């Protein structure tokens, strides 16, 4: 007979110090002060961590990591840098795609004992390109509390700075590493009526961009590299131009997100292009205006440049 599952609720605060760790709150350090973390109830806590800048972490995330009985993480060396930075002494245990089958039952046993387990990825929000969803599904099936501490996400950060439509997007993750499989997958993505967001490694970036340009055409795109870090860089251009740039040896070190505009359902009219150019030419140079409008409309850069030259004098006269 299957035992009845207990109802799952998210307590606002656990009263009387009733924690899985014996009633003792844990501590963390912030701005030179040592602070006590509020106690946690038993359950699985999905905690978003910084994607680069260690200051991009929420107060609630610090409190959760400090109060948990255990932190399950992809790479203990990466997470240790974060917890040591904030003076958090919670034990770490690895949980990644290579050991998930073995580690998952042990984490579920901890939850069954009434412990609080925090799950983090190396950077950003758990379950985005990691095996965490299987642990979440198993914990929920066993009746344990599962709750999220939201925060940084490379996916959403790249989408927000790419300058491309955000009303509808499709997250692909990593493309296949082998060219034949990659080209086949790109062909499947071509008809999706949404902005595409992909992760890619530096060594494969040039090859991936070449295949994207061949498969999707000169769509507007952005390469977002090292977001939130010292050498953050966002390059915006049509896919074919980006492919040429990175084939020529542009910097590819660090974490990379590719954002690609959706297919153009209808090309911008000449009047729409002119209107966009007039507004842009008031603010920026002809070169920059051409880049902005070509990226926004998907029209060929040469065509937009010719219109910009024709309009530049009129805009200058109007400004006088």
Asked if the structure places residue 8 within a domain, the reply is no
Tokens linked to 45: 């806590």
Same domain for 112 and 187, yes or no, is: no
Range of the domain at 275: 270-319
Indicate the pTM of the whole model: 0.75
pLDDT, residue 281, reads 86
Residue 46 and residue 66: Cα distance in Å, rounded? 14
Same domain for 143 and 170, yes or no, is: no
Please count the structural domains in the chain.
3
Q: At 267, is the pLDDT very low, low, confident or very high (cuts 50, 70, 90)?
A: low
Report yes or no on 82 lying in a domain. Answer: yes
Region of residue 285 (phi > 0: left; psi between -120 and 50: alpha; otherwise: beta)? beta
CATH number of the domain encompassing residue 96: 3.40.1010.10
Rounded Cα distance, 243 and 179, in Å: 15
Tell which wins on pLDDT, 254 or 20.
254
Q: Which pLDDT does position 199 carry in this prediction?
A: 97
Closest CA to 114 of 189, 21, 213: 21
Domain for residue 223, yes or no?
A: yes
pLDDT beyond 70 at 13: no
Q: Of 227, 260, 293, which residue sits at a domain end? A: 260
- Among 135, 152, 169, residue at a domain's last position: 152
Residue where a domain stops, chosen among 213, 236, 260? 260
**Percent of the residues in the chain that have a pLDDT greater than 70, as a whole number:** 89
Band (pLDDT 50/70/90 cuts) for residue 276 is confident
Tell whether the model's pLDDT for residue 274 goes beyond 90.
Answer: no
Sort residue 32 into left (φ over 0), alpha (ψ -120 to 50) or beta.
left
Q: Which residue has the tokens 């049509």?
A: 238
Say if residue 251 is in the same domain as residue 182.
Answer: yes
Read off the pLDDT of residues 197-217 as tens digits, 9 standing for 90 and up. Answer: 999 999 999 999 999 999 999
Express each pLDDT in 177-204 by its tens digit. Answer: 999 999 999 999 999 999 999 999 999 9
3 or 92, higher pLDDT: 92
Do 240 and 284 have their domain in common?
no
pLDDT at residue 18 tops 60: no
Contact predicate 251/206, CB 8 Å: no
For residue 6, is it within any domain?
A: no
Candidates 262, 50, 43; CA nearest to 165 is 262
Q: Is residue 9 assigned to a domain?
A: no
Q: For residues 229, 233, 239 and 240, what is the CA-based torsion angle, rounded to 10 degrees?
A: -130
81, part of any domain: yes
CATH number for the domain including 192? 3.30.950.10
- Kindly state whether residues 173 and 254 are assigned to the same domain: yes
């Amino acid at each position: 007979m299957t035992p009845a599952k207990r109802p799952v609720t998210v307590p606002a605060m656990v009263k009387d110090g009733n924690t899985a760790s014996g009633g003792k709150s844990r501590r963390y350090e912030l701005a030179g002060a040592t602070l006590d973390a509020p106690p946690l109830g038993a359950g699985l806590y999905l905690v978003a961590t910084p994607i680069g800048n260690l200051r991009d972490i929420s107060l609630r995330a610090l409190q959760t990591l400090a109060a948990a009985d255990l932190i399950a993480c992809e790479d203990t060396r990466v997470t240790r840098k974060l917890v040591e930075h904030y003076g958090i002494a919670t034990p770490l245990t690895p949980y990644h795609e290579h050991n998930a089958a073995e580690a998952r039952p042990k984490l579920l046993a901890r939850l069954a004992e009434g412990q609080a387990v925090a799950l983090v990825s190396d950077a950003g929000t758990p379950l985005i390109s990691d095996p965490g969803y299987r642990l979440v599904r198993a914990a929920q099936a066993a009746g344990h509390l599962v709750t999220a501490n939201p925060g940084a996400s490379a996916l959403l950060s790249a989408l927000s700075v790419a300058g491309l439509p955000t009303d509808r997007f499709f997250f692909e993750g990593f493309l296949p590493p082998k060219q034949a499989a990659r080209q086949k997958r790109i062909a499947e993505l071509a008809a999706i009526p949404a902005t595409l967001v992909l992760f890619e490694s530096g060594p494969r970036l040039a090859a991936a961009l070449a295949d994207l340009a061949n498969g999707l055409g000169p769509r507007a795109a952005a390469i977002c590299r090292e977001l939130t870090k010292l050498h953050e860089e966002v390059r915006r251009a049509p896919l074919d131009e980006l492919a040429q740039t990175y084939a020529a040896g542009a910097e590819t070190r660090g974490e990379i997100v590719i954002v690609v505009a959706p297919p153009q359902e209808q090309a911008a009219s000449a009047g729409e292009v002119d209107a966009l150019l007039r507004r842009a030419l008031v603010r920026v140079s002809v070169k920059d205006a051409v880049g902005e409008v070509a990226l926004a409309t998907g029209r060929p850069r040469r065509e937009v440049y010719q219109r910009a030259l024709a309009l530049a004098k009129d805009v200058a006269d109007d400004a006088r």
